[in-house]
Structure 1
Amino acid sequence: MRKLNFSNLVFGVLVLTGAPVGFAVAHEDHQMKCDETSMNAMHADIQSMNDGEAKTTAMKEMQMADEMMAKKDMKACATHMHNAMEATEK
């Protein structure tokens, strides 16, 4: 029961602060949606990272995700976004 209440609290805070709820859920499930909103959120996360190997890796993965999105290859785009997300968690 406590976990449910905590989840509701987190969701409520995200909604009240205007945070992109879909992105928060995507982070939790490690499934990225290849759309402009998710791309912008990932770019913002990466920009806030300290310089280093993880940030470089994430930036390269997002560049590849951008290229795949432009080619309308959403599966490859999502894969690269997932890889970028993994790099941000290191």
Structure 2
Amino acid sequence: MFNRLLIAAVMATSLTGAAMAQTDMACDQAGMTKLETDVNSITDATKKEMATKELAMAKEAMAAKDTAKCKTHMDNAMKGKDAM
């Protein structure tokens, strides 16, 4: 019983965190500038390369006014910044 509650709590926390992270980002120039600064601060070369590609795709989506796609790519770029 306790294991089920613990698993449910962990799953709810992880899903809530991902949803909140995506809603906090704004697909606008200020958001892109902050994200670009964050991406440039990544020291791991592999993560930085992935984040840079996601940043470029987010910029393309922003130019196309595709907010959902833009936020998804911004979120993916931020994942490169996090310790995995």
Normalising by structure 1, what TM-score? 0.65
Moved over 3 A (4+): none
- Cα deviation code 1:14-57 (max 9, x no counterpart): xxxxxxxxxxxxxxx31221111111001001111214110000
Determine whether 1:30 maps to 2:46.
no
The count of corresponding residues between Structure 1 and Structure 2 is 62
**How far apart are the structure 1 equivalents of 2:36 and 2:72?**
15
Matching residue of 1:54: 47
Aligned to 1:69: 62
The more displaced of 31-40 and 75-84 is 31-40
Over the matched positions of the two proteins, sequence identity in percent amounts to: 42
Amino acid at match of 1:53: T
Pick the structure with greater CA Rg: 2
Larger helix fraction of residues: 2
Q: Unpaired runs of 5+ in structure 1?
A: 1-28
Give unpaired runs (5+ residues) of structure 2: 1-19
Q: Tell me the C-alpha RMSD between the 2 structures.
A: 1.0
Query: TM-score, normalization: structure 2?
Result: 0.69
